[in-house]
Amino acid sequence: MSGCRVCRSAIEPFMDFGRMPLANGFLTPDQFAGEYYFNLRAAYCPRCTLVQLVEQPQRERMFNERYPFFSATSVRMQAHFAALAGEVIATLPPGDPFVVEIGSNDGTLLRHAANAGIRHLGIEPSASVAEIAIAGGVASLCRFFDTEVAREIVAAHGQADAIVGANTLSHVADLHAVVEGIAMLLAPAGRCVIEDPYWGNVVAATAFDQIYDEHASYFTLSSLSYLFAQHGLAVLDAIPTDVHGGSMRYLVGRPGSKPAAARAERLLDHEQAMGLHRPETFAGFRDRVTNTGMALLTLLRSCKAEGKRVVGYGATSKSTTTINFFGITPDLVEFISDTTPAKHGMFSPGAHLPVRPHAEFAARYPERALLFLWNHAVEVRAKEAAFARGGGKWIVYVPTVQEW
């Protein structure tokens, strides 16, 4: 067995999803035969506490000119990143500060720096999204961030006063290359903000569908502190945020550049007390996922038996785990409604459920909508009031299977 991606110790697998396709591997029928599969297995490291995938597909397979996730799709995330950009900009030193974003995607966050006339650079390897950022006036480099890219940026622009990485470090297999790059790029008094889904929330909500190819790591303050400490950096604060089903925003800097927040100390104790890294926690998680799968399949089969149409809502990356791990087939879910044009006319990875424009959902409401977008439930339910008024019901499966 290969070792931990941070400390190289032997890792302990706790959940095996079997053969899985790429979560964002939406495809056309002529591509079905050559569809790529890999073994999706989650493990934890007893030494540095990192929860991680045992195997992650090659990064170019996932992040390329076809990458179909656009940050701007969610209005909620647009507001979230506008606020984060505001906070980052407010703490910049006077003069001619420089802001770098890692995984800048379509420029949703960085355009606020661009609009304010602040020197900035986004590092984004997926051309499909980077091109949108560039067209919108956000300076972007279409590369995978690592030590080499960091060295080039420092040579060309100097060190960064702020570095932001949202939902990106969790996507990185070679964590040391990225974190060492951050250590090289960050100015002595600079601040780095890392935000990613929090393993504590995945456990608490049984949000098993956060586990898929792109998410190589599931951080806690404990595991992230271990990682950054190896590169001479410290996690100075950790602030819970409620996006993506429960994320954590970590403030990283040089040790002593700012006093560590008492809140971070308390969170470390809390992680210990919750037993986030204990074998019983992993076993309990696995059992709850099994129960969710049985309950969801039972409900979908009874809908079918009663002649109720079920349509999936949101062709999310998470849904790939749910659909393929539980064995949800096209006879149970007619199609998946989605707002991303790039996914229309495509089929979902693995199970090949058709993906259709939202207009088809709205034109003829089904009896049930299976909410793959459970992390945006508030936004979606507000938007789809007419569906519920017409008698439609939502099926959700995180934290447990329920009909709303």
Pick the binder of ligand SAH from 24, 52, 126, 210 (CB under 6 A).
126
Query: Tokens for 105?
Result: 């995607």
| Backbone angles phi and psi of 24, in degrees to 5 | -105, 20
Q: Is 215 near ligand TMP (CB under 6 A)?
A: no
Query: Tokens for 395?
Result: 């099926």
Q: Is 171 near ligand TMP (CB under 6 A)?
A: no
Name the minimum Å distance from CB 286 to ligand SAH: 27
Pick the binder of ligand SAH from 26, 44, 145, 219 (CB under 6 A).
145
Question: Which residues from 77-96 bind ligand SAH, rule CB under 6 A?
Answer: 77
From the list ligand TMP, Zn ion, ligand SAH, none, pick the one residue 171 interacts with, judged by a Cβ distance below 5 to 8 Å according to partner type.
Answer: ligand SAH
Q: Are 174 and 140 in contact (CB under 8 A)?
A: no
Q: Is 353 near ligand SAH (CB under 6 A)?
A: no
H helices within 186-332, ranges in order?
199-204, 221-229, 262-274, 279-305, 317-326
Q: Are 398 and 205 in contact (CB under 8 A)?
A: yes
Rounded distance between C-alpha atoms, residue 319 and residue 23, angstroms: 8
From the list Zn ion, ligand TMP, ligand SAH, none, pick the one residue 6 interacts with, judged by a Cβ distance below 5 to 8 Å according to partner type.
Answer: Zn ion
Picking from 84, 77, 125, 120, the residue whose alpha carbon sits closest to that of residue 100 is 120
Name the one residue in this structure whose structure tokens are 């297995």.
41
From the list ligand TMP, Zn ion, ligand SAH, none, pick the one residue 339 interacts with, judged by a Cβ distance below 5 to 8 Å according to partner type.
Answer: ligand TMP
Question: Which residues from 337-376 bind ligand TMP, rule CB under 6 A?
Answer: 338-340, 343, 358, 373, 376
Q: Is 102 near ligand SAH (CB under 6 A)?
A: yes
C-alpha distances in Å from residue 270, one per residue of 193, 237, 302, 375: 22, 14, 41, 24
Picking from 404, 202, 395, the residue whose alpha carbon sits closest to that of residue 295 is 395
H helices within 24-146, ranges in order?
59-62, 75-90, 111-115, 127-135
Residues with Cβ < 8 Å from 324, sequence gap 6 or more?
Answer: 17, 20, 21, 349, 350, 351
From the list ligand SAH, Zn ion, ligand TMP, none, pick the one residue 7 interacts with, judged by a Cβ distance below 5 to 8 Å according to partner type.
Answer: Zn ion
From the list Zn ion, ligand TMP, ligand SAH, none, pick the one residue 299 interacts with, judged by a Cβ distance below 5 to 8 Å according to partner type.
Answer: none
Q: Is 73 near ligand TMP (CB under 6 A)?
A: yes
Q: Is 172 near ligand SAH (CB under 6 A)?
A: yes
- Mask 48-67, x = binds ligand SAH (CB under 6 A)? -----------x---x---x
Cβ-based nearer residue to ligand TMP, 309 or 358:
358
Q: Is 78 near ligand TMP (CB under 6 A)?
A: no
Residues with Cβ < 8 Å from 291, sequence gap 6 or more?
Answer: none
Name the minimum Å distance from CB 56 to ligand SAH: 11
Cβ-based nearer residue to ligand TMP, 339 or 402:
339
Residues that bind ligand SAH (CB under 6 A): 59, 63, 67, 69, 71, 77, 102-103, 105, 123-126, 129, 144-145, 166-168, 171-172, 178
